[in-house]
Amino acid sequence: MAVIKKENPVEKAKRERDGLDCLDNIIAYARQGFGSIEEDDLNVRLRWYGLYTQRPAEDGYFMLRVKVPSGILSSLQLRTIGELSVQYARGTGDITTRQGIQFHYIRIDDVPAIFARLESVGLTTSGACGDITRNITGCPLTGIDRNEFINTAPVIERVHRYFLDNREFSNLPRKFKITISGCPVYCTGHEINDIGLVAFNGENGVVFDLWVGGGLGAKERFGERLGVHVTEDEIASVCHHICGIFRD
């Protein structure tokens, strides 16, 4: 007797429509109200823009996650987050384990206004949740720590911009985590990321030791050191190819 396997509902929703393609729907839901949100968008696709329903979901509130590459905020960005917190999120603003910010008690009606305010100061929620490349972490003291091997803020920003809204990598088997650190005390937990790049002084200058395959969750594991040293200029390409292997 043939066994017919039922398709995973999350994978079905992702196959039918990319999570990044629901932004126009979010704008429409904001006009029409919480009750108008399609089930697959509510349970799956809204995550691609950082939105999770709070429990109980029937109350109509969301958690909203903001990406902060390397955990670095300007004073204007931090002030904007504070103002949004007071105006829309009952004063909430959790700092996440991946250096992002989480608001709570967000209503779908207010999401377009929040997105516009965040965009005006160079922040985004795109890719903050869902099966996509997540916020790229790094040492928050980069550029300040006098003992660091290299300031990684520029390369983190480049990699962040490369993957942001990139539909080539917007439907992954699960979330994909990258960390890049020039810190001598290895503060970013590179062993528990899908890609961990850790700087050190090589024979011809600063290079990055490459680790892959780490993660937490239901099947936690430490990453494996590949014995490969990557230059700063090679990092974006290396992340592209490793993420592509993971996707395929």
186: pLDDT strictly greater than 70? yes
The DSSP secondary-structure symbol of 146 reads T
Question: Are 43 and 54 in contact, with CB atoms under 8 Å apart?
Answer: no
Residue 3 has pLDDT above 70, yes or no: no
Residues 19-45: tens digit of each pLDDT: 999 999 999 999 999 999 999 999 999
4: confidence class by pLDDT, cuts 50, 70, 90: low
Phi, psi of 88, rounded to the nearest 5 degrees: -120, -15
Type of residue found at 164: L
d(CA 158, CA 154): 6
Mean pLDDT of 232-243: 98
Residue 5's SS3 state is: coil
SS3 of residue 221 by DSSP: strand
Separation between Cα atoms, residue 154 and residue 3, nearest integer Å: 51
Please give the average per-residue pLDDT across 51-79, as a whole number.
94
d(CA 145, CA 181): 12
In sequence order, the β-bridge partners of residue 178 are 195
Cβ count near 173 (within 10 Å): 11
